[in-house]
Amino acid sequence: MFKNKLGNSSVLFGAATGAVILFGTVLGLLGIGGQPNEVAAKTMAVRVETNHQLKSAITVESNGKNALFNKAGTLKHARVVAGKQRLATMGNSDSSKHYFRAYRVARLSNGLVYYKMVSFDGKYRGWIYGGKSTTKVAGGIKRAATVTKTAVPNAATGHAYRAGQTVWGKPKWSVYKNKLVAPNTTQYLHHDLRILDAKRLTREGTVYYYVQNLNDSTLNGWVRSDGIVDKT
Protein backbone atom coordinates (compact mmCIF):
# COMPACT_ATOMS: atom_id res chain seq x y z
CA MET A 1 0.00 0.00 0.00
CA PHE A 2 1.33 3.44 -0.98
CA LYS A 3 2.24 5.83 1.86
CA ASN A 4 3.10 9.53 1.71
CA LYS A 5 3.49 12.36 4.20
CA LEU A 6 -0.27 12.53 4.84
CA GLY A 7 -0.86 10.02 7.60
CA ASN A 8 -4.28 8.71 6.50
CA SER A 9 -3.77 8.91 2.77
CA SER A 10 -2.78 5.26 2.62
CA VAL A 11 -6.09 4.27 4.20
CA LEU A 12 -8.03 6.43 1.79
CA PHE A 13 -6.05 5.13 -1.15
CA GLY A 14 -6.68 1.55 -0.07
CA ALA A 15 -10.42 2.17 0.37
CA ALA A 16 -10.63 3.77 -3.05
CA THR A 17 -8.80 0.83 -4.60
CA GLY A 18 -11.23 -1.58 -2.96
CA ALA A 19 -14.17 0.38 -4.34
CA VAL A 20 -12.71 0.24 -7.83
CA ILE A 21 -12.18 -3.52 -7.52
CA LEU A 22 -15.76 -4.02 -6.29
CA PHE A 23 -17.16 -1.85 -9.07
CA GLY A 24 -15.09 -3.76 -11.61
CA THR A 25 -16.37 -7.07 -10.26
CA VAL A 26 -19.99 -5.94 -10.63
CA LEU A 27 -19.36 -4.79 -14.18
CA GLY A 28 -17.62 -8.08 -14.93
CA LEU A 29 -20.64 -10.07 -13.77
CA LEU A 30 -23.20 -8.00 -15.64
CA GLY A 31 -21.21 -7.57 -18.85
CA ILE A 32 -22.17 -5.18 -21.63
CA GLY A 33 -25.70 -3.76 -21.60
CA GLY A 34 -26.60 -5.33 -18.26
CA GLN A 35 -26.45 -8.88 -19.66
CA PRO A 36 -24.90 -11.47 -17.34
CA ASN A 37 -21.27 -12.43 -17.96
CA GLU A 38 -21.94 -16.12 -17.46
CA VAL A 39 -18.30 -17.15 -17.90
CA ALA A 40 -17.02 -14.73 -15.24
CA ALA A 41 -19.84 -15.54 -12.83
CA LYS A 42 -18.98 -19.24 -12.77
CA THR A 43 -15.81 -18.44 -10.84
CA MET A 44 -17.90 -17.14 -7.92
CA ALA A 45 -19.98 -19.10 -5.44
CA VAL A 46 -23.46 -18.67 -6.91
CA ARG A 47 -26.34 -20.78 -5.60
CA VAL A 48 -30.01 -21.26 -6.42
CA GLU A 49 -32.24 -19.49 -3.90
CA THR A 50 -35.67 -20.29 -5.37
CA ASN A 51 -36.82 -22.66 -8.12
CA HIS A 52 -40.50 -23.23 -8.77
CA GLN A 53 -43.03 -23.93 -11.48
CA LEU A 54 -44.84 -20.97 -12.98
CA LYS A 55 -48.52 -20.76 -12.03
CA SER A 56 -49.27 -20.44 -15.73
CA ALA A 57 -46.78 -21.39 -18.43
CA ILE A 58 -46.06 -18.62 -20.92
CA THR A 59 -45.25 -18.64 -24.61
CA VAL A 60 -42.03 -16.81 -25.46
CA GLU A 61 -39.60 -16.34 -28.32
CA SER A 62 -35.83 -16.04 -28.12
CA ASN A 63 -33.95 -12.93 -29.24
CA GLY A 64 -30.35 -14.17 -29.36
CA LYS A 65 -29.08 -12.02 -26.48
CA ASN A 66 -28.38 -15.06 -24.29
CA ALA A 67 -27.65 -18.75 -24.78
CA LEU A 68 -29.73 -21.67 -23.52
CA PHE A 69 -28.04 -23.80 -20.84
CA ASN A 70 -28.72 -27.16 -19.20
CA LYS A 71 -28.82 -25.24 -15.89
CA ALA A 72 -28.70 -21.55 -14.97
CA GLY A 73 -25.78 -20.19 -16.99
CA THR A 74 -23.94 -18.61 -14.06
CA LEU A 75 -23.79 -21.90 -12.11
CA LYS A 76 -20.66 -24.02 -12.25
CA HIS A 77 -20.59 -26.80 -14.84
CA ALA A 78 -23.42 -25.22 -16.86
CA ARG A 79 -23.11 -26.14 -20.53
CA VAL A 80 -24.66 -24.61 -23.62
CA VAL A 81 -27.68 -26.38 -25.12
CA ALA A 82 -28.26 -23.79 -27.86
CA GLY A 83 -26.02 -20.81 -28.59
CA LYS A 84 -26.97 -17.17 -29.14
CA GLN A 85 -26.80 -17.43 -32.92
CA ARG A 86 -29.11 -20.44 -33.00
CA LEU A 87 -31.59 -18.73 -30.67
CA ALA A 88 -31.50 -15.56 -32.77
CA THR A 89 -32.35 -17.66 -35.84
CA MET A 90 -35.23 -19.33 -34.00
CA GLY A 91 -36.51 -15.96 -32.81
CA ASN A 92 -36.66 -14.70 -36.42
CA SER A 93 -38.01 -17.97 -37.79
CA ASP A 94 -41.13 -18.18 -39.94
CA SER A 95 -42.01 -21.48 -38.23
CA SER A 96 -44.18 -21.72 -35.11
CA LYS A 97 -42.21 -24.83 -34.13
CA HIS A 98 -39.50 -22.48 -32.89
CA TYR A 99 -41.54 -20.78 -30.18
CA PHE A 100 -40.80 -21.76 -26.58
CA ARG A 101 -42.95 -22.62 -23.58
CA ALA A 102 -41.48 -21.25 -20.32
CA TYR A 103 -42.70 -23.22 -17.31
CA ARG A 104 -40.20 -22.82 -14.43
CA VAL A 105 -38.36 -19.86 -12.92
CA ALA A 106 -35.32 -19.71 -10.62
CA ARG A 107 -33.65 -16.85 -8.76
CA LEU A 108 -29.93 -17.07 -7.98
CA SER A 109 -28.00 -15.62 -5.06
CA ASN A 110 -26.50 -13.00 -7.40
CA GLY A 111 -30.00 -11.65 -8.15
CA LEU A 112 -30.24 -13.05 -11.67
CA VAL A 113 -33.39 -14.84 -12.79
CA TYR A 114 -33.46 -17.81 -15.19
CA TYR A 115 -36.46 -19.40 -16.91
CA LYS A 116 -36.69 -23.02 -17.95
CA MET A 117 -38.27 -23.52 -21.34
CA VAL A 118 -38.81 -26.02 -24.12
CA SER A 119 -39.22 -25.40 -27.84
CA PHE A 120 -42.60 -26.24 -29.35
CA ASP A 121 -41.01 -28.99 -31.45
CA GLY A 122 -39.37 -30.45 -28.32
CA LYS A 123 -35.81 -30.29 -29.71
CA TYR A 124 -34.45 -27.74 -27.23
CA ARG A 125 -34.97 -27.62 -23.48
CA GLY A 126 -33.00 -25.68 -20.86
CA TRP A 127 -32.51 -22.52 -18.82
CA ILE A 128 -32.10 -18.98 -20.17
CA TYR A 129 -31.38 -15.65 -18.52
CA GLY A 130 -34.68 -13.80 -18.14
CA GLY A 131 -33.78 -10.58 -16.34
CA LYS A 132 -34.26 -9.91 -12.64
CA SER A 133 -38.01 -10.46 -12.25
CA THR A 134 -39.81 -13.74 -11.64
CA THR A 135 -43.04 -12.30 -13.06
CA LYS A 136 -41.87 -10.33 -16.11
CA VAL A 137 -39.61 -11.95 -18.70
CA ALA A 138 -36.65 -10.03 -20.14
CA GLY A 139 -33.05 -10.83 -21.06
CA GLY A 140 -32.91 -13.53 -23.71
CA ILE A 141 -36.66 -13.97 -24.20
CA LYS A 142 -39.87 -12.01 -24.72
CA ARG A 143 -43.54 -12.90 -24.70
CA ALA A 144 -45.00 -14.02 -28.01
CA ALA A 145 -48.46 -14.15 -29.56
CA THR A 146 -48.64 -17.22 -31.78
CA VAL A 147 -51.98 -16.32 -33.41
CA THR A 148 -54.06 -13.29 -34.32
CA LYS A 149 -57.81 -13.12 -34.79
CA THR A 150 -59.14 -12.94 -38.33
CA ALA A 151 -62.54 -12.80 -40.00
CA VAL A 152 -64.98 -15.71 -40.04
CA PRO A 153 -66.52 -16.43 -43.48
CA ASN A 154 -69.90 -14.79 -44.07
CA ALA A 155 -71.48 -18.18 -44.66
CA ALA A 156 -70.71 -19.84 -41.33
CA THR A 157 -72.84 -22.92 -42.03
CA GLY A 158 -73.14 -25.37 -44.91
CA HIS A 159 -69.58 -26.66 -44.85
CA ALA A 160 -67.84 -30.04 -44.96
CA TYR A 161 -64.34 -31.42 -44.43
CA ARG A 162 -61.95 -31.88 -47.30
CA ALA A 163 -60.52 -35.43 -47.32
CA GLY A 164 -57.32 -36.11 -45.39
CA GLN A 165 -57.46 -33.15 -42.99
CA THR A 166 -56.57 -33.12 -39.28
CA VAL A 167 -58.57 -31.57 -36.44
CA TRP A 168 -56.73 -29.96 -33.51
CA GLY A 169 -57.59 -28.68 -30.05
CA LYS A 170 -55.85 -25.40 -30.97
CA PRO A 171 -54.51 -24.13 -34.31
CA LYS A 172 -51.60 -26.43 -35.18
CA TRP A 173 -48.26 -25.33 -33.62
CA SER A 174 -49.90 -22.42 -31.81
CA VAL A 175 -49.33 -24.14 -28.44
CA TYR A 176 -46.89 -26.64 -26.96
CA LYS A 177 -48.20 -30.23 -27.04
CA ASN A 178 -51.38 -29.58 -28.96
CA LYS A 179 -54.26 -32.05 -28.74
CA LEU A 180 -55.00 -34.04 -31.89
CA VAL A 181 -58.79 -34.36 -32.06
CA ALA A 182 -58.98 -36.33 -35.32
CA PRO A 183 -55.99 -37.54 -37.39
CA ASN A 184 -57.96 -37.91 -40.63
CA THR A 185 -61.30 -36.43 -41.67
CA THR A 186 -61.86 -38.70 -44.67
CA GLN A 187 -64.48 -40.83 -42.89
CA TYR A 188 -66.44 -37.71 -41.86
CA LEU A 189 -66.95 -36.06 -45.24
CA HIS A 190 -70.74 -36.34 -44.92
CA HIS A 191 -70.81 -34.39 -41.62
CA ASP A 192 -72.33 -30.92 -41.44
CA LEU A 193 -70.01 -28.19 -40.15
CA ARG A 194 -70.37 -24.68 -38.76
CA ILE A 195 -67.44 -22.24 -38.57
CA LEU A 196 -67.43 -20.35 -35.27
CA ASP A 197 -64.01 -18.71 -35.09
CA ALA A 198 -60.91 -17.99 -37.17
CA LYS A 199 -57.25 -17.45 -36.23
CA ARG A 200 -54.14 -16.73 -38.27
CA LEU A 201 -50.73 -18.13 -37.29
CA THR A 202 -48.46 -15.13 -36.65
CA ARG A 203 -45.38 -16.57 -38.32
CA GLU A 204 -46.71 -18.69 -41.18
CA GLY A 205 -49.84 -16.68 -41.94
CA THR A 206 -51.90 -19.89 -42.19
CA VAL A 207 -55.57 -19.48 -41.26
CA TYR A 208 -57.39 -22.02 -39.09
CA TYR A 209 -61.13 -22.28 -38.50
CA TYR A 210 -62.74 -23.47 -35.31
CA VAL A 211 -65.34 -25.89 -36.65
CA GLN A 212 -68.39 -27.18 -34.83
CA ASN A 213 -69.31 -30.66 -36.03
CA LEU A 214 -73.11 -30.83 -36.01
CA ASN A 215 -73.06 -34.63 -36.27
CA ASP A 216 -70.48 -35.38 -33.56
CA SER A 217 -69.47 -32.75 -30.99
CA THR A 218 -66.38 -34.78 -29.99
CA LEU A 219 -64.90 -33.72 -33.34
CA ASN A 220 -65.18 -29.99 -32.66
CA GLY A 221 -61.81 -28.34 -33.21
CA TRP A 222 -59.47 -26.33 -35.41
CA VAL A 223 -58.94 -27.16 -39.10
CA ARG A 224 -56.91 -25.38 -41.77
CA SER A 225 -59.13 -23.03 -43.73
CA ASP A 226 -58.25 -24.78 -46.99
CA GLY A 227 -59.39 -28.05 -45.40
CA ILE A 228 -63.01 -26.86 -45.30
CA VAL A 229 -65.25 -26.78 -48.38
CA ASP A 230 -68.81 -25.75 -49.15
CA LYS A 231 -71.13 -28.70 -48.86
CA THR A 232 -72.83 -29.56 -52.12
Q: Give the domain ranges of the chain.
A: 48-143, 148-230
DSSP category for residue 61: E
pLDDT tens track for 64-114: 999 999 999 999 999 999 999 999 999 999 999 999 999 999 999 999 999
Quote the radius of gyration of the chain (alpha carbons, Å).
Answer: 26
Question: pTM to 2 decimals?
Answer: 0.81
Question: What is the tally of helices (H) and strands (E) in the chain?
Answer: 3, 15
Phi and psi at 88, nearest 5°, equal: -65, -40
pLDDT tens track for 161-202: 999 999 999 999 999 999 999 999 999 999 999 999 999 999
Compute CA distances 193 → 87, 153, 154, 164, 166, whole Å. Answer: 41, 13, 14, 16, 14
CA distance linking residue 151 with residue 104, whole number of Å: 35
Architecture, CATH, for domain 148-230: Roll (2.30)
CB proximity list for 81: less than 8 A, separation 6 or greater: 67, 68, 69, 70, 124, 125, 126
pLDDT at 30 over 80: no
HSE of 30, CA atoms in CB hemisphere, 13 A: 12
CA distance linking residue 34 with residue 207, whole number of Å: 40
SS3 41: helix
Q: Which CATH number fits domain 48-143: 2.60.40.4070, 2.30.42.10, 3.40.50.720, 2.30.30.170?
A: 2.30.30.170
The reply to whether 48-143 and 148-230 are identical in fold is yes
